[in-house]
Chain A
Amino acid sequence: MAKILLEMKNITKTFPNVKALDNVNLQVEEGEIHALVGENGAGKSTLMNVLSGIYPYGTYEGDIIYDGEVCKFNDIKDSEGKGIVIIHQELALIPYMTIAENMFLGNERGTKFKINWNETSDLARKYLDVVGLKDSTETLIKDIGVGKQQLVEIAKALSKNAKLLILDEPTSSLNESDSQALLDLMLKLKKEQGLTSIIISHKLNEVSYVADKITVIRDGSTIETMTKGVDDFSEARIIKGMVGRELSDRFPSREHHIGDVKMEVKNWNVYHPLYMDRKVVDNVSINVRKGEVVGISGLMGAGRTELAMSIFGRSYGEKISGQLTIDGKEVVLKNVQSAIKHGLAYVTEDRKGNGLILTNPIKINTTLANLEEVSKKRIIDKDKEYKVAVDYKEKLNTKAPSVEQNVGNLSGGNQQKVLLSKWMFADPDILILDEPTRGIDVGAKYEIYCIINQLVAEGKSVIMISSELPEILGMCDRIYVMNEGRMVGELDGKDATQEKIMTYILQSSGKKKEVNHE
């Protein structure tokens, strides 16, 4: 048996209100490729952040034993010093610097007072050759495609004498041939340099191709570790490990009174606002009925938020095309104002960034999307505003000393309730809820589900985007499955299972038509 390079023992990491990791154990042997798989929010990235020192020693419980000694990393520099290098899903390269400059950023060759450019480009060349990138070291990052950028990241890691390389979703933005090249590079580095790597991926076909061992994480715990050649590496087997959990009565029941089609979206296409040749929503058609909760399931980056925001008054994307009908009439929603006027509301997944004004009190946030309702001739009736805010605070059971409290001081669950208040007060007919229960505790989740039930009972339509499969299954009358910008399946709420949804997603992964990223 080979030497154990890394052992993470009983790692527990708690955030306010949430236990993200619960007694996680992970063993990685020297010279192997170890895959971590699990649903969104299972705790994979948190575990890697603990390992790389982003969450410093002392903020978690348990031990990291690396190369035979217990490590106490204070920051990412410490872990890199030991040869542990992490490459994040969002690449950390600076577009207007050259490949060589990027590779040695923070690790410059030469002295403090004079950078040795010759040494920089020689070394850069050496590592670029290892990863098989032929472009000049003087090329600007912005001029090469995502696939090559990924290679630059790996070369950068190697230049830091990486012994353990961690790749977080390395192929998520690559096309098939680039992905294949990357996986082959990993195998080559393993064989020629004896490099150990940990790969986090949702693409199970890639995982079974490249990995020697697979560890499954679910709900913050390690479920099992499978070894190539010993265990079954089939996708079905892995999926079972990822989702195998029981649905209990975590969801309030409701009566179903589903009416006519309220809104229909047909052949919807959206392009990325910056990379305008990248299609983020590809020919999607969905509809929602009165009194219906429709779920959109999928992995992060599947294009769900982009779909929702582009429908909501084109608040995301470029070159949006497609047909939108509300109550049987075709409408064009050119901006958010007209979307709100047509009875739409979009409750963002990013409540701090896009939803709330954290420095303002609850009452101001509650009325922001519908100020006309509490004002006469553009003059705000502050008493009315106060009353509205108090009403919603009571209705949604928001826990705060008063509506004068700044929302920045509230917990995630209560912030979410304020955000819901804001959009309920705008009195929409169709609510698009994007990850409505992300990062909030179980009790608050249940209350949010009750609010959703109440909304559809009033005859409103709800589209719920969620990465949590149990939530989608527990709440929705109908479920759409999205992956890589396309709609890849539609299920009736009654027949849907986690396995079915995951199968839809995984079968469609990586089968996207070749698009030129360069």
Chain B
Amino acid sequence: MNKDQVIGFIKKNTMIFVLIIVYAFFSFRTGGAILLPMNVSNLISQNAYVFVLATGMLLCILTGGNIDLSVGSVVCFVGAVGATLMVNMKVPVWLSIIIMIIIGTAIGAFQGFWIAFVRIPPFIVTLAGMLVFRGLSNVVLNGLTVSIKDKSSFVNLFGGGADCYIHDVFGNGTLNLTCLFAGLVAAALFIMIQVSTRMQRTKKNYEVENFGAFICKLVAVSAVIIIFSYKLAQHKGIPTVLIWVLVVVLVYGYITSNTTVGRYFYAVGGNEKATKLSGINTNKVYFLAYTNMGFLAALAGMITIARLTSAQPTYGQNYEMDAIGSCFIGGASAYGGIGTVPGVIVGAVLMGVINLGMSLMGVDANMQKVVKGVVLLAAVIFDVVSKRGGKLMVKN
């Protein structure tokens, strides 16, 4: 590897390096507490909603830096409706889940309609949505808390409560073998897919990355997967919610990188006029982004009430900010057209690690907000300035 390649590699993976440095910093400052199996497991469970919402937010941001401010309120509203249905109205759990998904998606479609077809700025539409659904949550819940503790099938399905881990089929030792096994299978699958893609490309004489770099990548990623599953195995195993997160991440990662629809999101954000003149219905793309955001907000709503085993009018506050922050920290462009699902996940993990690390260090909650704000600003400044070729200031 020559110098340019090294610089290119570092530039491409900046946030991963930042994540490693931050993780190392907190491991040092917390005396290794952040590396404890329980904390690794908590990192997932506590931030599951961020991963889900940030994935949806990415699609909105891709269309041109547009954000959805209403997701926190929608999360709360969907949860409120679901809890009311299950507990107060005795609707079966399966039916409640379907209704919650329909409501979330419908809210997304409603907001998407104004944004896509009437071209009301997304900021305004979703700001209105933020107020409307926060208010409606209060109305639905009468300002009270509804406990869903006894709806154990719902709570367990979405990874809340005490029994929120995948059952260990191989026995009851201190080490959860199912989890470790799943990690090994995942690592093996990853290596197999990578190797077979590479072989196909070589056969067709396409460009492939440097062999050394390829091996390094395989080793590093599989090592992370195995260490991660080992940590989880040491605690209680795979948190159920991790399955949901993985499904969302894998499905949306695939959609954004491999399907025509996914390509349209990037195209609209990159140059809407050119996209329109290429025969693509750009209105539909906007509509899809916001409808999908509503759908994922419904999922995040279910995860949230399951984890907290209740619904309250205050749930979901600032969730939109966590999602938006993760996207920008994870390399999504504030102008649209750039950003990936894996990048956003790295961004979300980085935010999660900073949260967890500071909590473990006993940093005051208000100071935590300050630090998160500074990290967000720094990430976006870095993004904008590096795209301008390193020039900090713009000539008037």
Known interface pairs A357-B267, A357-B270. Does A339 touch B279 (Cβ–Cβ under 8 Å)? yes
**Minimum Cβ distance to chain A for residue B5 (Å):** 13
Give the chain A neighbours of B337 by CB distance below 8 A.
357, 359-360
> Of residues 361 to 410 in A, which have CB atoms within 8 Å of B's CB atoms?
364, 368-369, 371-372, 375, 378-380, 382-383, 386-387, 402, 404
Give the chain B neighbours of A358 by CB distance below 8 A.
270-271
Please tell me if B263 contacts chain A, counting CB pairs below 8 Å.
Answer: yes
Known interface pairs A380-B260, A402-B207. Does A359 touch B274 (Cβ–Cβ under 8 Å)? no
Known interface pairs A378-B260, A380-B258, A383-B200. Does A357 touch B279 (Cβ–Cβ under 8 Å)? no
In which size bucket is the chain B interface?
20 to 34
Complexed CA–CA distance, A76 and B38 (Å): 64
Please tell me if A45 contacts chain B, counting CB pairs below 8 Å.
Answer: no
Please tell me if B119 contacts chain A, counting CB pairs below 8 Å.
Answer: no
Please tell me if the beta carbons of B267 and A336 are within 8 angstroms of each other in the complex. no
Chain B minimum-CB-distance residue to A419: B274
**Minimum Cβ distance to chain A for residue B235 (Å):** 37
Please tell me if B275 contacts chain A, counting CB pairs below 8 Å.
Answer: yes
Chain A minimum-CB-distance residue to B387: A359
Per-residue interface assignment for chain A, residues 294 to 326, with 1 indicating a CB less than 8 Å from any chain B CB and 0 otherwise: 000000000000000000110100000000000
**Minimum Cβ distance to chain A for residue B148 (Å):** 38
Please tell me if the beta carbons of B260 and A383 are within 8 angstroms of each other in the complex. no
Please tell me if A422 contacts chain B, counting CB pairs below 8 Å.
Answer: yes
Please tell me if the beta carbons of B277 and A378 are within 8 angstroms of each other in the complex. no
Chain B minimum-CB-distance residue to A357: B270
Please tell me if the beta carbons of A378 and B259 are within 8 angstroms of each other in the complex. yes
Please tell me if the beta carbons of B266 and A360 are within 8 angstroms of each other in the complex. yes
Give the chain A neighbours of B259 by CB distance below 8 A.
375, 378-380
Please tell me if A433 contacts chain B, counting CB pairs below 8 Å.
Answer: no
Please tell me if B201 contacts chain A, counting CB pairs below 8 Å.
Answer: yes
Known interface pairs A336-B279, A371-B263, A372-B260. Does A354 touch B274 (Cβ–Cβ under 8 Å)? yes
Please tell me if the beta carbons of A422 and B261 are within 8 angstroms of each other in the complex. no
Interchain CB contact (< 8 A) of B204 among A337, A357, A369, A383: A383
Give the chain A neighbours of B270 by CB distance below 8 A.
357-360
Please tell me if A346 contacts chain B, counting CB pairs below 8 Å.
Answer: yes
Please tell me if A340 contacts chain B, counting CB pairs below 8 Å.
Answer: yes
Interchain CB contact (< 8 A) of B279 among A340, A355, A359: A340
In the complex, which of the residues B204, B277, B337 has the most CB atoms of chain A within 10 Å of its own CB atom? B277
Please tell me if A348 contacts chain B, counting CB pairs below 8 Å.
Answer: yes
Known interface pairs A369-B279, A380-B258, A402-B207. Does A357 touch B274 (Cβ–Cβ under 8 Å)? yes
> Of residues 221 to 279 in B, which have CB atoms within 8 Å of A's CB atoms?
258-261, 263, 266-267, 270-271, 273-279
**Minimum Cβ distance to chain A for residue B11 (Å):** 14
Please tell me if B338 contacts chain A, counting CB pairs below 8 Å.
Answer: yes
Complexed CA–CA distance, A359 and B200 (Å): 28
> Of residues 268 to 300 in B, which have CB atoms within 8 Å of A's CB atoms?
270-271, 273-281
In the complex, which of the residues A336, A346, A359, A380 has the most CB atoms of chain B within 10 Å of its own CB atom? A359
The number of residue pairs between A and B whose CB atoms lie closer than 8 Å in the complex comes to: 83
Complexed CA–CA distance, A379 and B274 (Å): 22
Give the chain B neighbours of A368 by CB distance below 8 A.
263, 267, 274-275, 278, 280
Give the chain B neighbours of A216 by CB distance below 8 A.
none
Chain B minimum-CB-distance residue to A354: B273
Please tell me if the beta carbons of A315 and B261 are within 8 angstroms of each other in the complex. no
In the complex, which of the residues B270, B279, B337 has the most CB atoms of chain A within 10 Å of its own CB atom? B279
**Minimum Cβ distance to chain B for residue A344 (Å):** 10
Give the chain A neighbours of B207 by CB distance below 8 A.
402, 404
Chain B minimum-CB-distance residue to A375: B260
Complexed CA–CA distance, A315 and B276 (Å): 8
Complexed CA–CA distance, A404 and B8 (Å): 14
Complexed CA–CA distance, A378 and B264 (Å): 11
Known interface pairs A357-B337, A383-B200, A402-B207. Does A346 touch B277 (Cβ–Cβ under 8 Å)? yes
Per-residue interface assignment for chain A, residues 196 to 238, with 1 indicating a CB less than 8 Å from any chain B CB and 0 otherwise: 0000000000000000000000000000000000000000000
Give the chain B neighbours of A336 by CB distance below 8 A.
276-280
Please tell me if A353 contacts chain B, counting CB pairs below 8 Å.
Answer: yes
Give the chain B neighbours of A360 by CB distance below 8 A.
266-267, 270, 337
Please tell me if the beta carbons of A383 and B201 are within 8 angstroms of each other in the complex. yes
Please tell me if the beta carbons of A356 and B274 are within 8 angstroms of each other in the complex. yes
Please tell me if the beta carbons of A383 and B281 are within 8 angstroms of each other in the complex. no
Complexed CA–CA distance, A357 and B63 (Å): 13
Please tell me if the beta carbons of B273 and A379 are within 8 angstroms of each other in the complex. no
Please tell me if the beta carbons of B275 and A337 are within 8 angstroms of each other in the complex. no
Complexed CA–CA distance, A355 and B277 (Å): 8
Interchain CB contact (< 8 A) of B258 among A312, A372, A382, A422: A382
Complexed CA–CA distance, A387 and B260 (Å): 17
Interchain CB contact (< 8 A) of A364 among B200, B263, B273: B263
Please tell me if B206 contacts chain A, counting CB pairs below 8 Å.
Answer: yes
Complexed CA–CA distance, A348 and B267 (Å): 17
Give the chain A neighbours of B338 by CB distance below 8 A.
359
Complexed CA–CA distance, A380 and B258 (Å): 5
Complexed CA–CA distance, A355 and B276 (Å): 10
Chain A minimum-CB-distance residue to B281: A337
Please tell me if the beta carbons of B258 and A379 are within 8 angstroms of each other in the complex. yes
**Minimum Cβ distance to chain B for residue A314 (Å):** 11
Chain A minimum-CB-distance residue to B264: A371
Complexed CA–CA distance, A354 and B261 (Å): 20
> Of residues 148 to 184 in A, which have CB atoms within 8 Å of B's CB atoms?
none
Complexed CA–CA distance, A404 and B260 (Å): 18
Chain A minimum-CB-distance residue to B273: A354
Complexed CA–CA distance, A337 and B333 (Å): 29
Please tell me if the beta carbons of A348 and B277 are within 8 angstroms of each other in the complex. yes
Please tell me if the beta carbons of B258 and A355 are within 8 angstroms of each other in the complex. no
Chain B minimum-CB-distance residue to A339: B279
Complexed CA–CA distance, A400 and B333 (Å): 25
Complexed CA–CA distance, A369 and B274 (Å): 10
Give the chain B neighbours of A337 by CB distance below 8 A.
279-281
Give the chain A neighbours of B266 by CB distance below 8 A.
357, 360, 364
Give the chain B neighbours of A378 by CB distance below 8 A.
259-261
Give the chain B neighbours of A422 by CB distance below 8 A.
278
Complexed CA–CA distance, A93 and B276 (Å): 29
12 contacting pairs across A/B (C-beta < 8 A): A315-B277, A340-B279, A353-B273, A354-B277, A355-B274, A355-B277, A357-B274, A358-B271, A369-B278, A375-B259, A380-B258, A386-B206
- Identify 5 new A-B residue pairs, CB closer than 8 A, beyond the known A337-B279, A354-B273, A378-B259: A336-B280, A348-B274, A353-B271, A380-B260, A383-B204
